[in-house]
């Protein structure tokens, strides 16, 4: 914009001179690119984790079926199924509902939430199920690839590693967004603040009704809701 304006008439302070504004623009673009790259990295590792965790439901069912097929006791099977239900987010019994005839008591508070479907919770429960199965002599006979104890542990370990990577990626994305927002919106030298001051500079130098100010003022710089 300075190319069409009289720099002597503007008499801009250092941080509003063309060279400083170009530097601010370059920095802003870099922070936006960092966010884009971090978002792509996070989506990749989060998808990989999700695909692996999606297989837990079927894997847990097959592990319990192996115990049942190999003659484990009913009590053992019931215990194993409790882990299976936790992995799959199901309940042994329906969630208790509040009884309107007892307004002073909320029966639903007595129910343990079955919403243990977060990645960390599912991974932890799969480890618990595996530990339980390994403690049963019947499961020692399971040699099928993908179902034997060593393969299952390797699969869960890999999923845990993906989960850990997703946490790191999420933290980097969050930090990059904070940096981007600071550069664009949230400090004295932000793009939005520099733009507002530059518009005021042109307004002061040329007047509110001048074509120069109207041209500069028409360029939108808006801070989104955070």
Domain ranges of the chain: 2-39+181-217, 52-92+107-176
Q: Tokens 């484990």 label which residue?
A: 72
pLDDT tens across the length of the chain (226 residues): 455 789 899 999 999 999 999 999 999 999 999 999 999 999 999 999 999 999 999 999 999 999 999 999 999 999 999 999 999 886 544 545 544 443 333 333 343 233 234 889 999 999 999 999 999 999 999 999 999 999 999 999 999 999 999 999 999 999 999 999 999 998 889 999 999 999 999 999 999 999 999 999 999 988 777 6
What is the rounded CA–CA span in Å between residue 206 and residue 214?
Answer: 10
- Joined together, the tokens standing for residue 97 give 């509902």
Residue 123's CB is within 10 A of a number of other CB atoms, namely 22
Q: What is the pTM of this model?
A: 0.75
User: Collapsing DSSP states into helix, strand and coil, what is residue 51?
Assistant: helix
Q: What are phi and psi of 92, to 5 degrees?
A: -70, -35
């Amino acid at each position: 914009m300075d190319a069409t304006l009289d720099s002597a008439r503007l008499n801009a302070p250092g941080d509003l001179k063309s060279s400083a504004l170009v530097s601010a623009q370059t920095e802003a673009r870099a922070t936006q690119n960092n966010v884009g790259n971090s978002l792509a990295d996070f989506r990749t590792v989060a998808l990989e984790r999700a695909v692996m965790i999606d297989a837990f439901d079927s894997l847990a069912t097959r592990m319990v079926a192996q115990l049942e097929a190999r003659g484990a006791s009913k009590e053992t099977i019931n215990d194993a199924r409790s882990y299976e239900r936790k992995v799959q987010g199901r309940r042994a019994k329906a969630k208790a509902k509040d009884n309107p005839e007892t307004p002073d008591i909320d029966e639903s508070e007595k129910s343990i939430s079955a919403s243990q479907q977060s990645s960390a919770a599912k991974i932890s429960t799969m480890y618990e199920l595996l530990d339980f199965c390994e403690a049963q002599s019947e499961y020692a006979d399971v040699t099928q690839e993908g179902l034997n104890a060593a393969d299952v542990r390797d699969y869960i370990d890999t999923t845990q590693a993906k989960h850990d990577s997703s946490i790191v990626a999420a933290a980097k994305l969050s930090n990059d967004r904070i940096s981007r927002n600071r550069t664009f919106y949230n400090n004295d030298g932000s793009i939005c603040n520099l733009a507002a001051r530059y518009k005021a500079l042109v307004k002061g130098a040329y007047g509110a009704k001048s074509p120069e100010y109207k041209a500069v003022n028409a360029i939108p710089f808006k801070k989104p809701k955070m």
